[in-house]
Structure 1
Amino acid sequence: METNKTSSKMWGKDIFWGLGYEFDPQWTLSKKQLELQKDLIKICKDIIRPQSIECDKNLTFPKQSFIALSKLGLLGLIIPIELGGLGENHTCAAMVAETIARYGCPSTAMCYVMHIASLSALLLHANKNAAFRNLLSRVNDEVLIGTIAYSDPSTGSHAWFPKSSNSQETENGWKVSKKASWVTSGGFADWYLIQTTSHEFEGNYSKLSCYLVFKDEVTTYPGLWNGLGMRGNQSGPLEINGIEIPKDRIVGKPNEASKTNNESPDIFYLLCSSACWNGVAMGLIDLGAKHTTKKKHEDIGMRIADYPSIQDYFGEMIAETNSCRMNCFFLANILDIKTDNCNWNLHENNSFFPRSELMIWFWQLKLNCTTNVSNNSDKVLHACGGSGYKPELEVERYLRDSKAGWIMAPTNEVLKQLLGKLSLLGPESLDAWNQKVNETILQNEINKMNKEKMREFGEFLIKKASF
């Protein structure tokens, strides 16, 4: 059987040195999106990929790469045309994130993912908010980068428990305080989507609110970032110390952050970050194929790629990675169908939340894609041998970047437990804000007590209930 290894995929004036289009699901893209992908690959070659080495080596935020992306209108990718954006859909967003990560720079791709996710929250409520529309209309032309600050130093990846935050209603708006432990693009973003406890909190962590704040209203520490991989992300801490912001900076309604999150930023983050990890996985395969088809063992006259064990590695990696990619594009297409190709005007109806219904599928997507890219990085390193340790081959950089996906919130351990609980015990078992007593565990612990311990425990409960 004959196959055209590279089809028409080009790298500048040369044939691309990795896998060709025969291993890419190009049929999922429209003609316009295919042209955009082609232009983006060119920018990756000329600007973003060379910048990625600098970003990794010197912990440099990829601002020049964002300027290059803006030349294609990509900072406004999902912003409606009437607001100066490209008006593109979920499928295109996934393609762009994957393309940047594969051909350009994983750090830039992840910063871009957070930008798109933060955009989606404003777009969800822009129909009734002139301030949001004003910002959205300027995002691409002025290269205004957005990001999300949801993490908390005391609860880690359990972002739904922002213990180090609060908000109060004032006469003119909102007084917000926030501490975040990990903020992608921290100190370099122009605006931030933050989540705090609501002004009506009263100890109930299901009452959360989202707000829009700008760079001059936050304190960041970009110099503290020094990670194993994703070194251009600048994912450092953030603090907001009781600033007062206008009324129209609340994103959605008070106490309803979960509605906003489940419908827009969470879904876009899970979709596009999964696409990013798929891009890293394919980038590793490209690099491995480039090396193993050129490196030759002169003693027996065989290239590394000629060994059956290496062929097994690549066959497995390609099949598993493309399964993840097809899952990603399939879910993106379902979102396009449900939202009329990401038509934000449909959200004028406050009860329209079609994306939220698919959340468990995006949990599975993130779990599968991040597990796959981590496995791929190990296999490509094994295939490339000692050469894979050398920076010149780029495998070691992609390997370091690949490990971030597993531990980014929600971590794979959290996702496995959520999915396992949901499948075995039902949705009522997903007690995100610790509001339900686990009667089974409680009764089991009580059964271990002797009468004296039971009396002590009873006195403790009576005393606690009296407060």
Structure 2
Amino acid sequence: MTRTWGGEVWFGLDEEFDPQWFLSDEQKALQEELITVCHDVLRPNAIEADRNNVYPHKNVEALAKLRLLGALAPKKYGCRGENNVGITMIAETIARYGCPSTALIYMMHMVAVAGLVYRAHGNAEIQKLLSRIDADCLIGTASYTDPETGGHFWYPKTSGAKRVDDGWHVFKKAAWTTSSGFAKWYITQTTSPDFKGDYSDLSVFLFYADEVKGSPGKWDAMGMHGNQSGPVEIDSVVPENRMVGPRGDGARSNDEAIDPLAMLMYAGSYNGLALGCIDLAKRHVTRKAHVQFGRRVADYPTTQDSFGRAVMEVEASRLSAYSLAKAIDDATENGSWEIYERDPEAMPRAKFAHWCFQLKYLSTKAASELSDKMLQTCGGRGYMSDLGLERLVRDSKAGWVMGPSNEVTSQLVGKWALFGANSLDWWNQKVDEPVLMNELGKLDAQGKMKIIDKLTAELNPAPTAE
């Protein structure tokens, strides 16, 4: 089957290279509808957002009209009830045919939605938001990162919450938040009320725009200009029902809702971006001719080799993404979030954790490297803005450094593979005794006595004067 684009034959990689067997008939129809919206709305606005460094409001509105802002939320809230395969396809389609910045906006929105639907049962405020999310175009975002802990977004140091008469007084500083100042609602994570020093004791909260200090228009970056990421500050009192889930539910929410969905969305978005680079490069090399040789650029074996390698690399990443999405669907009654109503402690998604982290690494690495290769294949023309490839090249670099960065991700997966899941020290709580003893062995007697005196003073603090 040949895909069409604005009534003409699609210029990029043909549909025979799409793993359509993962999609239901309804999802295939949605994909075609979304591609049309990408042609008519998202792609033109992607160019404007990049050129003028503006937030793509019209793109978000177009997604809401397709009922995609609440795509994964259950149908009982008036939403689509999409499974993980469908969500991955949506992210990929937006990034490939439409706008990578919008794909990231959508990614962080859906991560936030996942955090809500995970604990929607029994919370009327969350249910009300979900029921209005598409009709009122309520774009949201997840604000988790911390200025002091960087890409280790699960480790909030400069945050906290306490119980007050009116509910919860929450204070939070986030380093990077997509849609900062543009989102209509935010979910965030802080240390729990009555925090006792254990940074794994986390709680999740819901805020609306007027309760958050965002940073609209301050985004100044290499690419993803429409993303409008920026700092967020929260110092607000919110009602009791704004705590999402029970107190101390944050780590469980990360493992079961936030991380699995985020990594699938990373994969969909950056696989789509990589495919977008291949599409544009294909259009160029099949049209550009060298008259002195009577050949198109695509006719050279070196070009065919480059394209073959690029296609196989991105398809391997795509197959990994859809395969994992399908596995999670199979483990969760086809992507159901209502399983947590029956068993709030169920953790079927969390068992796929290291596979999810691998997806993030594979997809963002493929996008970063393939964008460079397609630029080189297109030669000087690829460097020009009118081809559209240079914008995607700039956009492609964001995924590598987004939290958790690929360096952090590969170290986590490597340590997990070598020593098991229990070796991962997510909140810096485990003593590396061999290193400690090795360092102590370097001290002379005087140095050891200083350590002894310091530890003794900590164990036996001097009484304070009353």
Tell me the TM-score normalised to structure 1 length.
Answer: 0.97
Amino acid of the residue matched to residue 163 of structure 2?
E
CA drift at 1:427 = 2.4
Amino acid of the residue matched to residue 409 of structure 1?
G
Q: Secondary structure at the match of 1:353?
A: coil
User: Does 2:323 align with 1:330?
Assistant: yes
Amino acid of the residue matched to residue 245 of structure 2?
G
Partners in 1 of 2:425 and 2:75 — Cα distance? 40
Q: Which residue of 1 aligns with 2:306?
A: 313
User: Does 2:362 align with 1:362?
Assistant: no
8 A contact 1:118–1:146 mirrored in 2 = yes
CA drift at 1:8 = 2.5
User: Does 2:402 align with 1:408?
Assistant: yes
1:273 to 266, 277, 286: 266
Give structure 2 stretches of 5+ with no counterpart: 462-466
Q: Which residue of 2 aligns with 1:25?
A: 19
8 A contact 1:200–1:207 mirrored in 2 = no
CA drift at 1:22 = 0.7
Q: Which residue of 2 aligns with 1:89?
A: 83
- 1:126-205 matches, within 5 Å, as 126-205=120-199
Q: Which residue of 1 aligns with 2:335?
A: 342
CA drift at 1:267 = 1.1
Amino acid of the residue matched to residue 213 of structure 1?
F
Q: Which residue of 2 aligns with 1:233?
A: 227
Q: Which residue of 2 aligns with 1:3?
A: none
CA drift at 1:200 = 2.1
Q: Which residue of 2 aligns with 1:244?
A: 237
Partners in 2 of 1:220 and 1:248 — Cα distance? 23
Partners in 2 of 1:71 and 1:434 — Cα distance? 44
CA drift at 1:343 = 1.9
Q: Which residue of 2 aligns with 1:54?
A: 48
Q: Secondary structure at the match of 1:222?
A: coil
CA drift at 1:458 = 1.4
Q: Secondary structure at the match of 1:291?
A: helix
Partners in 2 of 1:19 and 1:437 — Cα distance? 51
Deviations, residues 17-61 of structure 1 (Å, cap 9, x unaligned): 101111100111000100000000000000000000011111111
CA drift at 1:392 = 0.4
Deviations, residues 372-423 of structure 1 (Å, cap 9, x unaligned): 1111011001101111111101110000000000000010000111111111
8 A contact 1:200–1:255 mirrored in 2 = no
Partners in 1 of 2:108 and 2:217 — Cα distance? 20
Partners in 1 of 2:215 and 2:329 — Cα distance? 38
Partners in 1 of 2:443 and 2:258 — Cα distance? 46
Question: Which contiguous aligned blocks of 4+ residues in structure 1 show a shift greater than 3 angstroms?
Answer: none
CA drift at 1:86 = 1.0
Q: Secondary structure at the match of 1:211?
A: strand
8 A contact 2:83–2:335 mirrored in 1 = yes
CA drift at 1:465 = 2.6
Deviations, residues 335-392 of structure 1 (Å, cap 9, x unaligned): 1111111222211111211001111100111111111111101100110111111110
User: Does 2:35 align with 1:41?
Assistant: yes
Deviations, residues 56-115 of structure 1 (Å, cap 9, x unaligned): 111111110111112211112112222111111110000000000000000001100111
Amino acid of the residue matched to residue 326 of structure 2?
N
8 A contact 1:98–1:280 mirrored in 2 = yes
Q: Which residue of 2 aligns with 1:466?
A: 460
8 A contact 1:79–1:88 mirrored in 2 = yes
Partners in 2 of 1:427 and 1:327 — Cα distance? 21
Amino acid of the residue matched to residue 65 of structure 2?
K
Identity of aligned residues (%): 45
- May I ask how many residue pairs the two structures share in their alignment? 460
1:257 to 218, 226, 250: 250
User: Does 2:62 align with 1:68?
Assistant: yes
Partners in 2 of 1:427 and 1:94 — Cα distance? 26
Deviations, residues 242-300 of structure 1 (Å, cap 9, x unaligned): x1101111111112201011111221111012110000010000011011111111211
Q: Secondary structure at the match of 1:65?
A: helix
Q: Secondary structure at the match of 1:60?
A: coil
CA drift at 1:171 = 2.2
Partners in 2 of 1:332 and 1:107 — Cα distance? 22
1:442 to 408, 412, 436: 436
Deviations, residues 110-152 of structure 1 (Å, cap 9, x unaligned): 1001111111111111111111111100000100001000011
Partners in 2 of 1:206 and 1:123 — Cα distance? 22
Partners in 2 of 1:376 and 1:300 — Cα distance? 27
Give structure 1 stretches of 5+ with no counterpart: 1-6
Q: Which residue of 1 aligns with 2:214?
A: 220
